[in-house]
Structure 1
Amino acid sequence: MTKRLVILGGGESGVGAALLAKQKGYDVFVSDGGSLKNNYRNDLEQAGIAFEEGMNTEEKILSADEVMKSPGIPEKNEIVRKIRKKGIPVISEIELAYRFKGNSRIIAITGSNGKTTTTALTYHICVKAGLEAALVGNIGYSFARQVAEDPKPLYVAEISSFQLDDIHEFRPDIAILTNITEDHLDRYDYKFENYIRSKFRIAMNQQESDQFIYCADDEITMRYINQFDIHSNQLPISMKTEVNKGAFIKDGDMYVRTGEEFTSMSVYDFALKGKHNQYNTMAACVAGATMDIRKEKIREAVQDFQSLEHRMEPVATIRGVEFINDSKATNVNSTWYALESMTKPTILVLGGVDKGNDYSLIKELVKEKVKAIICLGADNRKIHEAFGDIVNPIVNTGSAVESVHAAFHFAVKGDVVLLSPACASFDLFKNYEDRGNQFKQAVKDL
């Protein structure tokens, strides 16, 4: 009998899963409460996959043998509750992709911050070494679409906690947990521990032959790691202690050891600057070393890596004022890292949709480095409350253009205007890329 798979959500992961499931002989139905983007609608029509948009028809959904839930849909959603109540198994898109990956290997990266950079650098190391790999997950194509359309022997996947919530068998050969900070608490009943448990699920199914790379300097990771039954080979990274296996940085040099072999290189050769990027680079190098990639190749890749768009991306310098696009900073910790690396007086563009942010985390840095705050969001009260007593002026703006003009007005030669919003972008923009692109355009139009 054909298995009926219902997919909730018709975005990249939902449509990717639909295409793969259809190809593998499932009876597939896609349901999206909102409207589908044209390209996704076309994908489904071309593949002959039944779908609905603007509604979730209960009888069609609750007749499923299995449901794949898109990561953006919370557990408290009414239809999700009914699916759970009926006891229909729920999986995530990475679980479905994992079922059909064949003998391919997986390097999976999760964490609150740094995961996109670490994923991109790990992929770059693999490609430099001549491995045939694909970049999937939250960066690039969905994992399921890649497996359906262009399978590869190696997948480098960026994975969110939401995707890990609904895995059962998913097992990466190499798992990286960059760090854990308070993020997305709105999705975890505001219980930090629930979010922490989600992150550790990345190592849940790993076996002794697999590798688990984590940051030994991350307080929360270390506080919780012993509560989980981890069977894989643990490879910590640190700047504070010399670890026997994994990687550490001492006196400006990075040392990596995963087996008998030992590699070292100077942090001054890293293409990525800033302390947080030294952690990202260490994690990627350890992953590369466990794949038996030659150290010359790893060194080369780390030196010529191009940083990502919307992540501390230099836009332009206008009349001595430098503009930086860090639109990808969608939580307070990301903004903390951005501010920490600032060496000039900073005008900070902040705001958007707040996911339960605690701004006290950046208060000290703001006091030390920020001369003006430009709010870019529909509701900026919390920012005024957090920084009103230490920064003057704090100005409200309602568009990227307005924010850039206001920032430029307060800036003098030698200042930096930093877009590092600490918030999601959905109030005024399509997504963080759209926010970053509008910001860059506004700077270029000055």
Structure 2
Amino acid sequence: MRLVVLGGGESGVGTAILGKEKGYDVFVSDFGKIKENYKEVLIKNGIDWEDEKHTESLILNADVVMKSPGIPEKAPIVKKLVEKGIPVISEIEFAAPFTKAITIGITGSNGKTTTTMLTYHLLKSAGLNVGLAGNIGKSFAEQVAEDKYDSYVLELSSFQLDGIINYKPHIAIITNISPDHLDRYDYKYENYIDSKFRITMNQTEEDYLIYDADDEAISEWLQKNKTRAKLIPFSLTKTFEEGVFIKNNKMEAIINQEEFQMETAAIALEGKHNFKNAMAATSVAKLMQIRKATIRESLSNFQGVEHRLEKVLKIQNVQYINDSKATNVNATFFALDSMNTPTVWIVGGVDKGNDYNELMALVREKVKAIICLGVENRKIIDAFGNVVDVMVEVGTMTEAVRMAQHISEKGDTVLLSPACASFDLFENYEDRGRQFKDAVHNL
């Protein structure tokens, strides 16, 4: 069997290692440059590869192709594979049959990384032998090759779900759905929503779907479509006979006839959206039969995720916050919503079809100045030019942070929450967040 892997990054190289171990004839092809550390791994494992090109004669003879999530369906080589009827799947689809481990799959437009990390923290603190993969950390396929874990917590993007055929998580979570990546879905929101719900398409009555019952897109889909999984809703406003909700400043979970309660004030993560992440993670912990004391302790000591509303430093009584992970409008909405002081907002990057109107009321209420950090800032300037007193364009992160220091006064907050992808000026959102933190430390 010939396995061709498109993309020589974390998921591609991990898949190649697993494929080789399972006896496939493996070839890795990357249209860009493969990083040196990944080349070394491929060479060490005796895996054939090429970069900065796709040689069709070496690709179109595949029995199966694993496409990295960053490569769009519209890429010419992918179209040719599909025309030839060669299955093009994701890393998760390829690796899942080779493990007996339980998987917990987490998707959503926002909150999925925090929910994934929090769920992993809960299970690990309880002493479970659990791995962490998907969009985070080490590739799922490579971990399956090493066969160390009894269960995995997987953060799954819509792109990874697009490439599944038979994969099903035992427990699925959909944190929320808001317009994102519409450039990859023909600018049709319903295509993107359907993509997220692929997480439950193969689930059976033995499996669970945990979801945000306050989310309009999720509720509508569930009214019109069926899943066989057992539904576990969570909500800030409703209560359930089975599910998780907030009542009298307590989070209450009722799952499989068992009750769990915890004061919301004791949850380490702040903000309404983080209560939702905590509810989703608690649902998993209850289904995995983790002790109540362990759940309480884990929720009260969880430190949060880097680049997500991360407090960097207070300088001259101005708080600097790194929310570089906010790559869409909905994530930035949560960030602005949680601001309690006048805010200098650093925003911009690669626009994915953003509608900034959703932020208008919050910007009027909370934002005193906007610093645009992107190659193309026209949409942001058009949206908010008449709303804030100060609007500045800058070309580097150092400039953005110095300008923010210049504009801000005692008691203000400087918030990096870009609402956009980072690929115009940075390698990725982590690079953007680190540059912000470095610039703040250098003030």
TM-score range, shorter-chain basis? over 0.9
Q: What's the counterpart of residue 33 of structure 1?
A: 31
Query: Aligned-pair distance for 1:166?
Result: 1.1
Separation in 2 of the partners of 1:14 and 1:22?
12
* Equivalent residue letter for 2:311: P
Q: Give the Cα–Cα distance (whole angstroms) in 2 for the partners of residues 19 and 72 of structure 1.
A: 19
Q: Which runs of 4+ in 1 moved over 4 A?
A: none
- The answer as to 2:355 corresponding to 1:324 is no
Within 5 A, what are the aligned runs for 1:144-163? 144-163=141-160
TM-superposition CA deviations, 1:85-136 (whole Å, max 9, x none): 11111111001110111x2101110000000000000000001111010111
Counterpart in 2 of 1:137? Answer: 134
| Structure-to-structure mapping, 1:188-267, within 5 angstroms | 188-267=185-264
Q: Which of 51, 63, 66 does residue 65 from structure 1 map onto?
A: 63
Describe the superposition over 1:37-73 as per-residue Cα deviations: whole angstroms up to 9, x where unpaired.
1111111111111111000011111100111111111
Percentage of pairs with the same residue: 58
1:294-309 to 2 correspondences below 5 Å:
294-309=291-306
Match of 1:270 among 267, 270, 291: 267
Following superposition, the deviation at residue 392 of structure 1 comes to 2.2
Residue segments in structure 1 that go unaligned for 5+ positions in a row = none
**How far apart in 1 are the matches of 2:223 and 2:79?**
32
State the AA in 1 paired with 2:363.
V
Letter in 2 for 1:7: V
Offset of residue 150 of structure 1 = 4.6
5+ long unaligned stretches in structure 2: none
The 2-side partners of 1:432 and 1:222 are apart by 30
Out of 339, 343, 353, the residue aligned to residue 342 of structure 1 is: 339
Partner of 2:21: 23
Residue deviations 1:328-362 (CA, integer Å, cap 9, x gap):
10111100000000000000000011111111111
Q: Report the equivalent of 2:179.
A: 182
Partner amino acid for 1:108?
G
Distance 1:434 1:286 in 2: 33
In structure 2, what is the Cα distance between the partners aligned to 1:239 and 1:310?
Answer: 25
Counterpart code for 1:335:
T
Residue 121 of structure 2 aligns with which residue?
124
1:176 is paired with a residue of what secondary structure?
strand
Is 2:89 the partner of 1:91? yes
The residue type paired with residue 196 of structure 2 is K
Deviations 1:117-176 (A, max 9, x none): 000000000011110101111111121111113531010000000000010111111000
> For 1:226 and 1:166, how far apart are their aligned partners in 2?
25
Task: In structure 1, give the amino acid aligned to 2:174.
Answer: L
Q: Distance in 2 between matches of 1:212 and 1:15?
A: 31
Match of residue 444 from structure 1: 441
Task: Determine the C-alpha separation between the residues in 2 that align with 1:426 and 1:151.
Answer: 35
Structure 2 letter corresponding to 1:329: A
> For residues 294 and 285 of structure 1, what CA distance do their matches in structure 2 show?
11
How far off is 1:228 after superposition? 2.7
Q: Secondary structure at the match of 1:73?
A: coil
Q: Which residue identity does 2:208 align to in structure 1?
A: Q
Q: Deviations over 1:198-243 (max 9, x none)?
A: 1001011111111110000001100111333301110000111111
Query: How many Å separate the matches in 2 of 1:51 and 1:226?
Result: 47
Q: TM-score, normalised by structure 2?
A: 0.99
User: C-alpha separation between the residues in 2 aligned to 1:27 and 1:228?
Assistant: 40
Q: Which amino acid aligns with 2:159?
A: F
What is the identity, as a one-letter code, of the residue corresponding to 1:113? N
Other structure's SS at 1:175 match: strand
2:74 counterpart residue number:
76
**Amino acid in structure 2 at the alignment position of 1:166:** G
Give, in whole Å, the separation in 1 of the partners of 2:437 and 2:141: 32
Partner of 1:53: 51
TM-score (normalizing by structure 1): 0.98
Trace 1:286-301 onto structure 2 (pairs within 5 A): 286-301=283-298
Distance, in Å, in 2 between the alignment partners of 1:194 and 1:27 is: 34
Question: What amino acid is the match of 2:164?
Answer: I
SS in 2 for 1:368: helix
Structure 1 stretch displaced more, 381-390 or 341-350:
381-390
SS of residue paired to 1:124 = helix
The aligned amino acid for 2:35 is K
Distance 2:2 2:43 in 1: 18
Count of residues in Structure 1 that have an aligned counterpart in Structure 2? 443
* Aligned mates of 1:365, 1:144 — CA distance in 2: 42
